[in-house]
């Protein structure tokens, strides 16, 4: 397993991280606790040491499951726990809240659910445009100096927002959506991170399962599954993306003897100071992990990938549908 140091901190972690949004159940059709615990423990056994979660994933459920899996497995000193602040909820509806008093409460709640005394990487989930960034940053820097958090990250922040944040606190990481199909950060956040020494935690490295190679044209998403509302998984968009996956599958096997999943992860890892976050829900889904390690894409392979994407995806869509509302509800 390849490793990376998170920014300017002393936190060293695996370059593949286990994302646990799906394990929380909410917007992913529920969760099976025993299966989720087995998945987390299996990930660690395979060399994945970064576990990325958030309070809003299942409204605390994901953190609770992660905490239980780590505690029961005696794994705390073998993993780096990354969680988030800055999203709250009321009556099942999510909103942004980066106020200093809220952050301290969020941290205590996360520590309790995760059954730990420290967070290795604490990240602002979304910028709260109703709270000065300086207030959020100052609170986090104080928590870092107190030893309750070991490194600081932001998620879904623009370079200008990160500049404002870095004027007050040491920033170590940024977590944007990034994969073969969602590449908006290549002209903004990625070069910014490279220039300023930030580690990029790429969430959605498999684009919500599209790049797993397991989806078919007749795949149905039910219940509260967020892919029901993702334009990529509907109509002609879905057809275009599936066509691209099929061509990438052929390319991956022909050039590298790898699966399309391994190709997608390797592509993310080859883009710079990156970590690929992978949202597995069952231990068996982690079997391809070794296939993404120990090799790199060559120049000709990269050119072939670009050709596939250009030919197959005529009307690309981004991940913007996932952004929470900008305004807090009244009386919060």
69-120 tens-digit pLDDT: 999 999 999 999 999 999 988 887 888 899 998 999 999 999 999 999 999 9
- The span from the CA of 93 to the CA of 123, in Å, is 21
pTM: 0.91
CA 52 to chain centre: 7
Q: What is the mean pLDDT of residues 241-250?
A: 96
Number of Cβ atoms within 10 Å of the Cβ of 282: 13
Helix, strand, coil share (%) of the chain residues, nearest 5: 45, 15, 40
The pair of three-digit structure tokens given for residue 157, joined into one six-digit string: 């922040």
Catalytic residue among 57, 178, 203, 241: 57
**Catalytic-residue membership of 203:** no
Please name the residue that has the structure tokens 């889904």. 285
Tell me what pLDDT residue 27 has.
Answer: 47
**What letters, b where the CB count within 10 A reaches 16 and e where it falls short, cover 162-172?**
bebbbebbbbb
* Domains, the chain, with CATH or none: 3-322 (3.20.20.100)
Strands (E), the chain: 3-5, 12-14, 16-19, 50-52, 80-85, 87-90, 93-96, 121-124, 152-155, 173-175, 199-202, 274-278
Three-state DSSP at 212 gives: helix
56: closest CA among 25, 31, 89?
A: 89
- The span from the CA of 278 to the CA of 265, in Å, is 9
How does strand 87-90 pair with strand 93-96? antiparallel
202: β partners: 276
- Reported as a single tens digit per residue, the pLDDT across 153-200 is 999 999 999 999 999 999 999 999 999 999 999 999 999 999 999 999
How does strand 173-175 pair with strand 199-202? parallel
82: closest CA among 154, 137, 1, 134?
A: 154
Q: What is the DSSP letter of 330?
A: T
- Reported as a single tens digit per residue, the pLDDT across 116-136 is 999 999 999 999 988 999 999
Q: What is the DSSP letter of 248?
A: H
How does strand 274-278 pair with strand 16-19? parallel
- Reported as a single tens digit per residue, the pLDDT across 22-52 is 786 554 456 688 888 999 999 999 999 999 9
Residue 253: which H helix or E strand, with range? helix 235-256
Q: What is the mean pLDDT of the chain?
A: 91
Q: CB of 153 within 8 A of CB of 124?
A: yes
Three-state DSSP at 114 gives: helix
Whole-angstrom CA distances from 170 to 42, 196, 205 are 33, 11, 26
State the Cα angle at 237 between 257 and 305, rounded to 5°: 30
Number of Cβ atoms within 10 Å of the Cβ of 216: 7
Residue 233 CB contacts under 8 Å (≥ 6 apart), including other chains: 208, 210, 221, 227
Q: What is the mean pLDDT of residues 301-311?
A: 96
Q: What is the DSSP letter of 131?
A: S
- The span from the CA of 267 to the CA of 248, in Å, is 12
Q: Annotate 183-200 with DSSP letters as a single string.
A: -GGGGTHHHHHHHHT-EE
Percentage of the residues of the chain whose pLDDT score is greater than 90: 70
């Amino acid at each position: 397993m390849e490793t990376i140091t998170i920014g300017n901190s002393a936190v060293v972690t695996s370059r593949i991280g286990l994302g646990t949004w799906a394990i929380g159940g909410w917007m992913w059709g529920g969760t099976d606790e025993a299966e989720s615990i087995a998945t987390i423990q299996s990930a660690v056994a395979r060399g994945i040491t970064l576990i990325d979660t958030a309070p809003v994933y299942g409204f605390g459920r994901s953190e609770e499951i992660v905490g239980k899996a780590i505690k029961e497995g005696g794994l705390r000193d073998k993993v780096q726990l990354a969680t988030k602040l800055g999203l709250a909820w009321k009556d099942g509806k999510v909103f942004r809240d980066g106020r200093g008093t809220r952050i301290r409460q969020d941290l205590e709640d996360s520590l309790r659910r995760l059954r730990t005394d420290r967070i290795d990487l604490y990240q602002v989930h979304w910028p709260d445009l109703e709270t000065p960034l300086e207030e959020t940053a100052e609170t986090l820097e104080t928590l870092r100096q107190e030893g309750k958090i070991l490194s600081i990250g932001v998620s879904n922040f623009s370079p200008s927002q990160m500049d404002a944040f870095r004027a007050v606190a040491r920033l170590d990481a940024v977590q944007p959506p990034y994969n073969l199909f969602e590449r908006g950060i290549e002209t903004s956040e990625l070069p910014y991170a490279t220039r300023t020494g930030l580690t990029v935690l790429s969430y959605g490295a498999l684009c919500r399962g599209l790049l797993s190679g397991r989806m078919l044209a007749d795949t149905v998403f039910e219940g509260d599954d967020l892919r029901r509302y993702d334009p990529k998984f509907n109509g002609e968009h879905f057809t275009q993306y599936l066509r691209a996956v099929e061509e990438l599958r052929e390319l991956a096997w022909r050039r590298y003897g790898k699966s399309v999943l391994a190709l997608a992860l390797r592509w993310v890892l080859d883009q710079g100071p990156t970590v690929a976050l992978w949202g597995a829900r069952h231990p068996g889904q982690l079997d391809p992990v070794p296939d993404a390690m120990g090799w790199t894409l060559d120049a000709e392979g990269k050119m072939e990938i670009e050709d596939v994407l250009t030919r197959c995806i005529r009307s690309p869509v981004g991940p913007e549908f996932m952004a929470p509302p900008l305004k807090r509800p009244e009386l919060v």
